[in-house]
């Protein structure tokens, strides 16, 4: 299993699952992190937190602990 926090800048992937429930799970889904969505990692901030990604035409920054909850399949985007 690969999670979003393991990807490097420039990597592309497709979301396969989000392992969060309650308000956090709802927030991640509302931001577009749903099964099948293609994304690209833009950059990691100094220290690796936050992680900036591009999906559905916009940029999104996630904390590393949030990115760790997003399961992806590499190179599918």
Q: What is the pTM of this model?
A: 0.91
Compute mean pLDDT per 10 residues along the chain, 77 residues long, and list them: 95 96 95 96 92 96 96 81
Domains of the chain and CATH, by start = 2-74 (2.30.30.90)
CB neighbourhood size of 45 (10 A): 11
At 74 the pLDDT is: 94
Q: Please give the pLDDT value at position 75.
A: 83
Q: Is 28 exposed, middle or buried (0-12, 13-18, 19+ CB in 10 A)?
A: buried
């Amino acid at each position: 299993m690969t999670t979003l926090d393991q990807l490097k800048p420039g990597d592309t992937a497709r979301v396969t699952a989000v392992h969060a429930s309650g308000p956090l799970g709802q927030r991640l889904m509302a931001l577009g992190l749903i099964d099948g969505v293609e994304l690209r990692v833009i950059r990691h901030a100094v220290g690796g937190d936050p992680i900036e990604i591009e999906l559905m035409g916009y940029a999104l920054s996630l904390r590393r602990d949030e990115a760790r909850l997003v399961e992806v399949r590499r190179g599918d985007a």
